[in-house]
Structure 1
Amino acid sequence: MATWKLIKLKFERCPAHFGELGIGMESTTERVHSDTLFSAWMSSYARLYPNEIDALLNGFCDESPPAMRISSTFIYRETDKGTIYYLPRPLRFPVNYPQGNDLEFFKTYKKLNYLPLKVLQRWYQGVGFTLADREELIAKTNGAKGGNLDTEGTFDYKQAFKIEKVPKIAVDRNTRATNLYHTAFLYFEWNQNGNSIQSLSGLYFLLHFPQDDVELATRLEDALELLGEEGLGGERSSGAGRFKVEWEDIPSDWQSVVKYPDTSTSHYLISLFWEDDVSQLQQLITDKSSYEIQERGGWIIQSNIRRQMVRMFTEGSVFPVEPHGKLVNVTPSELRTNNGGYKTHPIYRSGISLSLKIKAENS
């Protein structure tokens, strides 16, 4: 029986640094993509269970359904009205979205890169876009406040975190010359009551097991806790990226979202996705698709060697059929032998997708 989990990563007062391809140390994003989370998680799993990691990865590489699927991480925010879970806005308009050049509210609408779960469910699995939504977005464009979208936290995404630049000094090993630079650190909302620290915001992701596997779930939870102690992202030597894990069954407000009926006509990515099968891509990429592609790269842990570059479909992409994806071998040429083997072990990046069913305009 398939099961869903929702995992919160609570950073409390600990800063984080999440780099992206093409940006320097002076910038950081506020979340981590599914491929980065998967790689870091599997590295921790390999340290805890060195005799089990090969079997787990082989299960992802063969043609059978993978042992699990994970989403990318997204922001959650605790408020006095409950928890707001943000998700990327699908790249297709919701049902009943006004046709034509209705620019009175589009300036505000296009800035909504992330939607609260309740808004996404209403727009893409419920009644769709309403006249009241249009009027509120027009009012917001003109500087007014109030309305259902405002109450549900639609415009409060950036209140969950702040980014600060910290000055650092680099010292040349040969000349001892110094160089001043800045590193951006991400801080999530938190408060303190006595000696107790409460995370008011952080990251979460969804985990889907096609078949309930208690033993695997226990091992994965242990590996994730180890990752939390070591840190996720960059600047771990400075103490960045450490978190506490809250592992729970899918909350009630998510149940209808993940179990939306099969009669839906579109599938919406909440992870990165990679596929090289031409027949599969032909089914996915049609006039009913809307997608963006992002280059993914990065360094191999504890080395100065870069992984091979790969291009993936991003979160928010919408397809007419369910995308599945697979692991992609990104082992660089420096780590390959002449006979086709590997000097150490193959390096993988996860393009295994996780998607939700939605209704979208013209789908």
Structure 2
Amino acid sequence: MDYKLFKLEFLNGVRFGKGNLENTEITFHADTLFSALFIEALKLNKEKKFLEYVRCNELLFSDAFPYKGKQYYIPKPMIHYEPVKNDKRGNSEEKKRFKKMKYIPQEYLKSFIKGEFPEEELKEEQKFGVHSMKVSVGIRGNEEPEPYRVSAFHFQEGNGLYLIVGYQKTEAAELFETLLDSLSYNGIGGKRSAGMGRFEYMEDRVPDDLKTNIQKESKKYILLSAALPEDQEMNEIIEKASYNLLKRSGFVMSETYAEQQMRKRDLYVFAAGSCFEKTFTGRLIEEREGGKHPVFRYEKALFLGVDI
């Protein structure tokens, strides 16, 4: 499998995650990307080919992670970290800073594993942008106007999100880029009708050490996409694993699925950053839940190898 990296530079604010108007995350998960790309594929009559590539593991993609300038960040691995002691100040302050971090620069992965994470990185606040809050007023018929707050995140200039895309065939990579291009005009995440989530994208070279670690066999593997193994694999996969579970839910974004908007069933998956001794493929789950057509949920795994 070969790999590409795409940088997304957002033109306005973004709204991801949380499910309410007053909170937002700064990144989105691979299943959100899949759903958005599938809608674009339907518009272009390319949904069958897109599903075929994903089902056959000829096309994989990561969650979206932040970048700052030319520096790419990965989720902080759920591996025990014991910082090298500093006799002058101890390491309690360092531990507090480190605990708050959600991402680490990918080039410092080896240092992190050794407990030698650069002190200057801990001192530098991981600020990729700023949160904002806007007060709007909802008016329904003759009812009293009701104010509500809508939050958004705005990336600073030169910062944004990136995706790692794995592909077996050039045609699969080309289809992904076609769908990504279509998506860039419509946006991803919430409040797209207000212009949020639209982006420009560019392909960049996958850093050599990152590409090497994705491809190599290792003692531990860091998950780069929210994913779920098959039921029969579960006991073996979680043995000696360190992981967080992520609840995935939301509404079916289809006008033809049912007469009224319906929720997807709740699903608990492994979060990016979870660490395992064995890899797994993951699933493309097909659900109907009373709707007129199936709904597909992307829970495929992309891993980054690391030696401990």
- Corresponding residue to 1:293 among 220, 245, 262: 245
* Deviations, residues 133-169 of structure 1 (Å, cap 9, x unaligned): 5xxxxxxxxxxxxxx442xx45546421111001111
Q: Which residue of 2 aligns with 1:129?
A: 115
Provide closer, same or farther for how the CA distance between residues 294 and 256 of structure 1 changes in structure 2, counting only shifts above 3 A. same
Q: Which residue of 2 aligns with 1:328?
A: 285
Answering whether residue 86 of structure 2 is matched by residue 113 of structure 1, we say: no
- Corresponding residue to 1:161 among 110, 114, 129: 129
* Deviations, residues 194-237 of structure 1 (Å, cap 9, x unaligned): xxxxxx1000010111x2x2222222211101101001101011
Over the aligned positions, Cα root-mean-square deviation in angstroms equals 2.3
**Alpha carbons 1:221, 1:247 under 8 Å: kept:** no
Answering whether residue 297 of structure 2 is matched by residue 349 of structure 1, we say: yes
- Corresponding residue to 1:309 among 249, 266, 270: 266
Provide closer, same or farther for how the CA distance between residues 289 and 208 of structure 1 changes in structure 2, counting only shifts above 3 A. same
Q: Determine the C-alpha separation between the residues in 1 that align with 2:150 and 2:229.
A: 35
Q: Secondary structure at the match of 2:304?
A: strand
Q: Which residue of 1 aligns with 2:73?
A: 86
Q: Determine the C-alpha separation between the residues in 2 that align with 1:247 and 1:218.
A: 12
Q: Secondary structure at the match of 2:282?
A: coil
Answering whether residue 191 of structure 2 is matched by residue 235 of structure 1, we say: yes
**Alpha carbons 2:59, 2:173 under 8 Å: kept:** no
Shift of 1:331: 3.1
User: Unpaired segments of 5 or more residues in structure 1?
Assistant: 134-147, 191-199, 336-342
User: Unpaired segments of 5 or more residues in structure 2?
Assistant: 86-90, 256-260
Answering whether residue 28 of structure 2 is matched by residue 41 of structure 1, we say: no
Query: TM-score w.r.t. structure 2 length?
Result: 0.89
* Deviations, residues 340-363 of structure 1 (Å, cap 9, x unaligned): xxx2x2101111011111134xxx
* Deviations, residues 52-94 of structure 1 (Å, cap 9, x unaligned): 4224324544xxx41211110011011xxxx111111111125
**Alpha carbons 1:307, 1:331 under 8 Å: kept:** no
- Corresponding residue to 2:163 among 198, 201, 205: 205
- Corresponding residue to 1:270 among 193, 204, 224: 224
Q: Secondary structure at the match of 2:300?
A: coil
Shift of 1:96: 7.8
Answering whether residue 75 of structure 2 is matched by residue 74 of structure 1, we say: no
Aligned length: 299
Percentage of matched positions with identical amino acids: 26
Rg larger in structure = 1
Provide closer, same or farther for how the CA distance between residues 188 and 155 of structure 1 changes in structure 2, counting only shifts above 3 A. farther
**Alpha carbons 1:94, 1:359 under 8 Å: kept:** no
Q: Determine the C-alpha separation between the residues in 2 that align with 1:157 and 1:40.
A: 32
Q: Secondary structure at the match of 1:222?
A: helix
Q: Secondary structure at the match of 2:127?
A: helix
Q: Secondary structure at the match of 1:38?
A: helix
**Alpha carbons 2:60, 2:165 under 8 Å: kept:** yes
Provide closer, same or farther for how the CA distance between residues 91 and 7 of structure 1 changes in structure 2, counting only shifts above 3 A. same
Amino acid at match of 1:87: I
Q: Secondary structure at the match of 2:104?
A: strand
Q: Determine the C-alpha separation between the residues in 2 that align with 1:214 and 1:86.
A: 26
Shift of 1:327: 1.0
Provide closer, same or farther for how the CA distance between residues 299 and 97 of structure 1 changes in structure 2, counting only shifts above 3 A. farther
Provide closer, same or farther for how the CA distance between residues 46 and 97 of structure 1 changes in structure 2, counting only shifts above 3 A. farther
Q: Determine the C-alpha separation between the residues in 1 that align with 2:246 and 2:17.
A: 14
Q: Which residue of 1 aligns with 2:258?
A: none
Q: Determine the C-alpha separation between the residues in 2 that align with 1:256 and 1:289.
A: 22
Q: Which residue of 1 aligns with 2:237?
A: 284
**Alpha carbons 1:273, 1:352 under 8 Å: kept:** yes
* Deviations, residues 13-68 of structure 1 (Å, cap 9, x unaligned): x1111132xx41011100101110111112112212x1x4224324544xxx4121
Provide closer, same or farther for how the CA distance between residues 106 and 156 of structure 1 changes in structure 2, counting only shifts above 3 A. closer
Q: Which residue of 2 aligns with 1:8?
A: 7
